[in-house]
Structure formats: C-alpha cells, structure tokens
Structure 1
Amino acid sequence: MPDTNDIEASLARECLAVLGGLEPTEPGPAFPAGCRSLLLIGPENPVFWPHFTASQEFRDGAADPLDRWSKRILTAIAARHGGRALFPSDGPPYPPFYDWALESGAFAASPLNMLAHAKDGLMVSLRGALVLPFSMAAPDWGPPPCGRCEAQPCRDACPVGAFPTGQYAVDACHNHLDTSAGSDCMVRGCAARRACPASERSGREPAQSAFHMRAFHGKR
C-alpha cells in the first residue's frame, strides 16, 4: 500500500506543497505512461524562502539554483515511491504544466492569462510535478480566485500596460525594468502579480520575488 503520508511529509520537510493534482482515468498523450496521479508541486510560503536560501544550490554561485534544487529534491522524492518527476524546463517539447494546472481545477487563467491559485494568487510558482503509479488525491485549496474577483485589479496594475489584451508584451516589460522606475518591480516583484488580492495573502518574501525578477530579466 503506497504511503501517501510519507510523500506529504517529505514535501513538507522541503517546505513544498501539493498545489493541485490530476488522476487520469485512462492513458493519453497528455500524461506519461503509467501515470495514476500527477501532483503539481510549489513552494509553501512563507517558510520556503529561508529553507531554499540555506541550500547548497543557492550558495554555490552556479546558474539556475532554484531549478537545480527543485530537480534534486523532487527527483529523489519521486524515486522513493516508484514514480518520476517532471519539470517546466524539460524540453522541448515542454510538459503542458499550464494545461495540467487548469485541468486540476485548483488554478484559473487570470485576466493576464497567467495562472492564479487560491493559496498564492498570481504569486504561484510550480517547481515540478510528481508522476506516481498509484492514486493520490491533492488537497482542496478551494476555488481559484479569479472567478469571484469582480475588481480584477491585476488588469490595470502594470505601470507600462504590458497586458493590454491578455497577451504579455514582454519587450515593454523588460524595457521598463531597465529604468529607475522599474526598480519597484525588480525589488518587490511584478506590480500586476502583487495587485491580485490572493497574492497579498500568499506570504511570499519580497526577496523571493526579487530573485524571480532577476532570473526573468536576466534571460532576455
């Protein structure tokens, strides 16, 4: 009998959480062979950031520390339970994380077309997925926020209007981040993501958002 409690405990020790999940009833091109459960894994804020910054990957000065840490941790957890781990950076072709998230019902496509989650709003981050050969239900975080958000402040919060039609004007964003006015987003995180009411409850450390912004802006 699979010990699903051990999976949850292993994730909790690494300050990670199951943010959503799928239990495919039949094989298909969207799921790996042998998949009975696909669990979408992300940080458990606010405890995640101090835990990660104490890791060897964060401290060794090499590139892509968070991706390397995620792969080491999730690959080991999956292997202990006869499964495997998948990551957004695997590819091309890349695993359909966006589609999986929406199909799980725990995420919504925000007005910015970015994923929003009940726990972390637009500050949600998927570190990987556990593909398991047995059924394991994901916790119920409640409905994602966008369906009941009438104000939708994220639509108008970007200082350069990088989301005019739900399509991301990436160049406009990068150009803004190169200016002194863009320092607010660089230091505190994307203004549009921060405007989401659920993001305000996520507990994500500003230093964590700044880390993600440096990684994003550095890969123009």
Structure 2
Amino acid sequence: MPELSLDRLNKLLEPNCLEVLGGFDCAGEPEFPDWAHCLVLLGPSEPGFWPHLKAQPEWGGPDPVDNWSRRVIGRLACDLGGKARFPFGGPPYHPFYGWALRTGRIWDSPVKLLVHDTQGLMVSIRGALILREVLGFPAASKPCETCVAPCLSACPVGALTGARYNVGACHQLLDLPEGADCLGAGCQVRRACPASQGYARLAEQSAYHMGRFHRAG
C-alpha cells in the first residue's frame, strides 16, 4: 500500500464526497492512543456531497447523515489502521470545537461559530480520523482578518451576535412567516459570510439541517 499522505487521503475520500478540513499532530497526548501521530478532521466536499448522500442506503432511515458518516468514516479508519471519532453519539462528546481550533484552518468567528478558510461558516465536521502516520498540515489565513463581519448583523432578530446565541429567539423566528427564508435556504448568518458564499453547498442541504434543528428545539 502506498505511503499515506494528505493528497492520498483526499483521493481516498473523493468517492464519498469528503475532504480533509485540517488536522494536527497529537503524538504523546494522553487523550489519544499511544500509537497515534495525528488527528484529521473530515467534512463534505462540494459540489456533489448532498446528491451523493441521498443516494446512499442510510437515506430514508433514522439519522441518515450521522449513520452514513459512521459507516463511511469508520470503514476508512479500519482500512488505514486508525480510529474514527464523531461529533455525535454522546454524551460524553469528543471536543471537536477545540480540535478544530488546533488545525490552523478553522477558527472561532465573530459570532463564535466555527469558520473554515474555504468553507466559511458552512463548515460541517462529519468525523475525525486518528492515524499512525505523521502528516504535515499546512496553515491558512483566517478569512475574518480581512472581513467587515456581515455575520454580526445578518440575523433578522439578532439571535446570533458576538455576545451570545439566543436560541429561543431563533426558534421563534422560524415559527413565523418571516423565518421561511432561514428554514428554506439556511441560517442567514452563515450565508452572510463571504467565505461561505464561495462554497457550493446546496440550499436543500441547509434546509434539511435547519428543519432538524428546529424540530429538536
């Protein structure tokens, strides 16, 4: 088997419309296995992720996105002799927010949601691989450094600002006709991010996640 590299890993991910979002060295850290050398975060690669997911056997069953992620990423981890971790299935939950901040490609945005260098506020982490190999992870520039932060004022009811996330106000908006745009196309705060606008995520996918969020609330 060829030596694992970031390029080869991304090639292995392509058939399932996933990509490496970032990663970091974790050798010697007690929360990881003693054989581990790095952790890699994985997320959807666009365009194409949503149609691919809807064609999978998990679609139509309970929790199709999470169950698909568990199957695909779990199988890849086994094939590579590593371990998979997921941001769901708890409590307890793995510290994905903290892991993301260590990658050098994902940061806390002005509204405290994670922001990715190429996916903006649309970034979605489907799982992580803990690997035996030493992989080099390039850093990137935080998109917020040259941005006027339209995310801070994008919410029609001010539910999401730099100071707090008023979940109740968000759900109240989604119950009203004025919230139809958020339900049908995704959170206006996430969509206001210039980096998000360069990422080809379908409105249908955002609507699916908004609907699940609202029903759960």
Normalising by structure 1, report the TM-score.
Answer: 0.92
The residue number in structure 2 matching 1:44 is 45
* Number of equivalent positions: 215
Structure 2 unpaired stretches of 5+: none
Task: Give CA deviations for 1:163-207 in whole Å, capped at 9, x if unaligned.
Answer: 244321111101111111111000110000000000100111111
**Corresponding residue number in structure 2 for 1:53:** 54
How far apart, CA to CA, are the structure 2 residues paired with 1:164 and 1:154? 8
Contact 1:45 1:204 in 2 (8 A): yes
| Contact 1:162–1:172 under 8 Å retained in 2 | yes
SS of the aligned residue for 1:174 comes to helix
Sort the Cα spacing of 1:156 and 1:71 in 2 relative to 1 into closer, same or farther, 3 A. Answer: same
Counterpart in the other structure of 1:13: 15
Aligned to 2:110: 111
Residues 141 and 53 of structure 1: is their aligned pair in 2 closer, same or farther, counting only changes over 3 Å? farther
Look up the match of 1:69.
Answer: 68
Runs of 4+ more than 6 Å apart: none
Which of 142, 151, 154 is equivalent to 1:154? Answer: 151
Q: Secondary structure at the match of 1:212?
A: helix
- The structural deviation recorded for 1:6 is 4.6
Q: Describe the SS at the equivalent of 2:42.
A: strand
* Secondary structure of residue in 1 paired with 2:184: helix
Percent identity reads 45
Alpha-carbon distance in 2 for matches of 1:114, 1:32: 29
8 Å CA contact 2:4, 2:133 repeated in 1: no
Aligned partners of 1:193 and 1:94: how far apart in 2? 24
* 2:103 partner letter: S
Structure 1 distance, partners of 2:145, 2:205, is: 27
Q: 2:193 aligns with which of 193, 196, 214?
A: 196
Cα-to-partner distance string for 1:5-28 (whole Å, 9 max, x where unaligned) = 553222111110000101124223
Change (3 A) 1:32 1:181: farther
Residue type matched to 2:42 in 1?
Answer: I
Q: Is the 8 A contact 1:41 1:128 kept in 2?
A: yes
Counterpart-to-counterpart distance in 1, 2:177 and 2:49: 29
CA distance in 2, matches of 1:13, 1:76: 13
Farther off after superposition, 75-84 or 44-53 = 44-53
Residues 1-10 or 114-123, more deviating: 1-10
Per the alignment, in what secondary structure is the counterpart of residue 107 of structure 2? strand
Partner letter of residue 37 of structure 1? Answer: C
SS in 1 for 2:40: strand
Query: Contact between 1:119 and 1:141, CA under 8 Å: does it hold in 2?
Result: no
- Shift in Å, 1:110: 0.5
Say if 2:209 is the partner of 1:212. yes
Q: In structure 1, list runs of 5 or more residues that go unmatched.
A: none
Which one-letter code corresponds to 1:109 in the other structure?
Answer: D
Contact 1:86 1:95 in 2 (8 A): yes
